[in-house]
Amino acid sequence: MIAEKGVWRQLRTRLLFTGPTLFAFITVMIIPFFYGIYLTFTNWDGIATTQELVGFQNYGEVFRDTAFWQSFYLTLKYVLFSVLFINVVAFALAYVLTSGLKGQSLFRAGFFVPNLIGGIVLGFVWQFIFSNVLVYLGKQASIPIFSTSWLADPNKAFWTLVIVTVWQYAGYMMVIYVAGLMSVPKDIMEAASIDGASAWRKLRTMVLPLMIPSFIVCVFLSLQRTFMVYDLNISLTEGGPFASTKMVSMHVYEKAFLSRDYGVGQAEAFVLFLLVATITLIQVYFSKKMEVEA
Amino acid sequence: MKKFKGLHVLLLALAVMLVVSACGNNSAAPSNEGAASSNQTNASSGSEVKISLLNSKGEIQLQLEEAAKAFKEDYPNITLEILPTAAGQSPFERASALYAAGNPTTITMLDTGDVEKFKDRVLDLSGEKWMEDAVERSVDLTTFDGKNLAFPLAIEGYGFIYNKAVVDKAVGGSFDPNSIQTRDDLENLFKQIEASGVAPLIISPMDWSLGAHYLALAYAGQSEDTAEVAKFIEDLKAGQVDLGSNAVFNGLIDTFDVMMQYNIDKASPLAGTYERGPEVLGKGEVGIWFQGNWAWPQISSFDTADGQYGFLPIPISNNAEDFGNTQISSAVSKRLVIDKEKSTPEQQEAAKTFLNWMVYEEKGQDFLVNKANIIPAFSNITLEAQDPLAASIQDYISRGKTQDSMSTMPADHWSKVGASMQKYLAKAGDRATLVKEIEDYWKSVK
């Protein structure tokens, strides 16, 4: 009886504090998630008043949809290059901006700014730069590589996406790296200096291993954000030229809302969710093993 | 201690109430059911009816808002609210989202091909007075089981828009659009324009323009009989059409080859944007642009030809008699439907009143033709179009020189085949690739 009362009281206290959040979480995250999974088993088109259960037919469609796998492959390529360059650039910036440069706070703020601009606006700004500003400069100075718009060539359009993504996220990741660099204990660094270790030696065998937690966070964040890229994709290249830079999110969206194949689109979204979740979990699991203590 | 426990319970109850009532408010307030019931009581006491219209023709948003005010002057007890659709969002997307939220507008502006999807949810308009005055074939595509579900709002047409000042100079004298009836005539005109020191034409490389407008001419041009065209589409879906040997398709693409050759953006054909088209045409840097009459507001802001523009059809062969060589592609492109699911009978009546107002009353007609530059689909409206492009389309219509544009294509058609056309335009694929991609697309359509 007393124990029972205790359980009730405990639950009541918990509900008091977590209840509202839990309620919001369930209604806006959990229920739509499962309702979405339910929709993958129907042939709903997004508007009809009726829908039929079609079993696993939509999942079959997903595996037959070559355009989906092509765009997934393209996204993998984009994620690989973006994550690599974002983190290399961000770490380099952070390293330079913690070395006691004059006006380094100003630089930190400056590099962070692109992250405050939304993806859509950013896409339009860069679209103007790539198809007007650079072309104009290229023609004036007769630099052949800039004299035609990069957005009109499938290969170069892909790189514009990578460049803009790196520019957007490098500043954000830099902030995390700056925090990581500042938390490297001063005493061991001093000890290393007394022992005559070079800057490169200190970076490679002391700073980098101690920064593993920062790397985990940054790689995870950049992985997840670049996998789900949509806003930049639609405003910078619109998937063009001729659908050659259509990332997987855009493909899924168009499947559901443009081709009005809601069930298949939703099934593709779910498959994508599983793939991305697997990749990021693997990344976190393996990089956790690399963590060391000072 | 006991008191404290009481407080505990009270707090919890408060928290729960807060959450529940907040959500209750959120879901009830914007829903029409709440608003509808209050409207009902209002209407029965003989006052205000509130209706709403979802506008998917962004360029007439302001004019529609003005029209709502003018309508209110004539019918003081009806308030019409205009909701815009975000640029780039399809009307279908927005309308279906509003329905999913249980909050549809009373009147929704849809593209022709989307009306059928809404047929369980919208009112039968067959008994309306304007049905008798609607121009021929204008409601065929929205009639299901003998019931017409939609109001034809605007006729739109497209083709080659020419800048008269530029072509006059090129041909040396006043240019007669009827002189261009074959592909050779067209190429000749391109040469003349080029010789006068101006680029002949600009091809805007948007997928919707190339896919939904240019390529669609290959379907519409198959026959004067719309039933034949519909059968051609069915055959395409069944994979029974050999496009590579289809005369109309090849003729159209041959014309496209000529266009590509004289394109101002030949060096980088995919770099252009829509905005570049009206600018170079209006400023007279090119003589011709492939686009439709909706482009007038943009062209007029760059106009250097004193408002002298007109349309040329796209010739697909060297025989002037062939269908399509002298006909301009046009069709009713926007339709209004009235919701019957969430709207009260009073709201439905008010919506019908608004439709009649546009067709039969002076202010309504003035809005359609003079303010919104719409080409109305009703024969009783005799007002002359103010803008030269609409006037040019109206002229082709009055002479019976029209070809019905394809307006019930699958929803992703423009995007998919538009990409194939872009590939062809950029010379990243040859004609065989184009044919194969179009055929494959049609086979994938369910």
CB contacts of B18 in chain A (<8 Å) are 20
| B339 lies in the same domain as B406 | no
| B325 lies in the same domain as B207 | yes
Whether B28 is in a domain gets the answer: no
Query: Which residues, 6 or more positions from A27, have their beta carbon under 8 angstroms from its beta carbon?
Result: B23
**Are B106 and B347 spatial neighbours (Cβ–Cβ below 8 Å)?**
yes
Report CB contact under 8 Å: A154, B428.
Answer: yes
pLDDT, mean of residues A15-30: 91
Whether B8 is in a domain gets the answer: no
CB contacts of B410 in chain A (<8 Å) are 259
Whether A205 is in a domain gets the answer: yes
Q: Is B443 on the interface with A (CB under 8 A)?
A: no
| B213 lies in the same domain as B303 | yes
Whether A37 is in a domain gets the answer: no
Whether A192 is in a domain gets the answer: yes
| B177 lies in the same domain as B298 | yes
Whether B83 is in a domain gets the answer: yes
Q: Is B412 on the interface with A (CB under 8 A)?
A: yes
Chain B residue closest in CA terms to A149: B271
Whether B29 is in a domain gets the answer: no
| B211 lies in the same domain as B272 | yes
Q: Give the nearest partner residue to B15 out of A16, A48, A259, using CB atoms.
A: A16
Per-residue pLDDT of A43-80, as tens digits, reads: 877 777 777 888 888 888 888 888 889 899 999 999 99
Per-residue pLDDT of A81-114, as tens digits, reads: 999 999 999 999 888 888 878 888 888 888 888 8
d(C-alpha A168, C-alpha B375), whole Å? 46
Query: Domain tally for chain B?
Result: 2
Report the predicted TM-score, pTM, of the whole model to 2 decimal places: 0.78
CB contacts of A16 in chain B (<8 Å) are 8, 11-12, 15
Whether A31 is in a domain gets the answer: no
Best mutation target among B121, B270, B274 (most A Cβ atoms within 10 Å) is: B270
Whether A50 is in a domain gets the answer: no
Whether A106 is in a domain gets the answer: yes
CATH number reported for the structural domain that contains residue B371 in this entry: 3.40.190.10
Q: What is the ipTM of this complex?
A: 0.74
Return the pLDDT at B144.
85
Domain span at residue B239? Answer: 158-330+399-444
Q: Count the residues in chain A.
A: 294
Whether B39 is in a domain gets the answer: no
d(C-alpha B398, C-alpha B155), whole Å? 13
Whether A237 is in a domain gets the answer: yes
Report CB contact under 8 Å: B12, A49.
Answer: no
Mean pLDDT by 10 residues, chain B (446 residues): 50 52 40 39 58 86 88 89 78 82 87 84 86 82 86 89 89 86 89 89 88 89 84 88 88 91 86 86 89 86 86 88 86 88 87 89 87 85 83 85 83 86 88 90 84
Whether A206 is in a domain gets the answer: yes
Domain span at residue A241? Answer: 68-288
Report CB contact under 8 Å: B15, A20.
Answer: yes
Whether B18 is in a domain gets the answer: no
Whether B73 is in a domain gets the answer: yes
Whether B364 is in a domain gets the answer: yes
**Domain finish residue from B352, B367, B391:** B391
How high does pLDDT run on average in chain A? 85
Query: Which residues, 6 or more positions from B364, have their beta carbon under 8 angstroms from its beta carbon?
Result: B67, B70, B71, B357, B358
Q: Give the nearest partner residue to B19 out of A23, A148, A261, using CB atoms.
A: A23
| B342 lies in the same domain as B324 | no
Q: How far is B138 from chain A (nearest CA, A)?
A: 25
| B301 lies in the same domain as B436 | yes
| B130 lies in the same domain as B178 | no
| B170 lies in the same domain as B266 | yes
Q: Is A243 on the interface with B (CB under 8 A)?
A: yes
Residue B312's beta-bridge partner residues?
A: B160
Q: Is B432 on the interface with A (CB under 8 A)?
A: no
Report CB contact under 8 Å: A148, B271.
Answer: yes
CB contacts of A46 in chain B (<8 Å) are 96
Chain B residue closest in CA terms to A130: B271
Query: Domain tally for chain A?
Result: 1
CATH number reported for the structural domain that contains residue A214 in this entry: 1.10.3720.10
Pairing of β B107-111 and β B147-148: unpaired
| B408 lies in the same domain as B305 | yes
| B311 lies in the same domain as B349 | no
Q: How far is B428 from chain A (nearest CA, A)?
A: 9
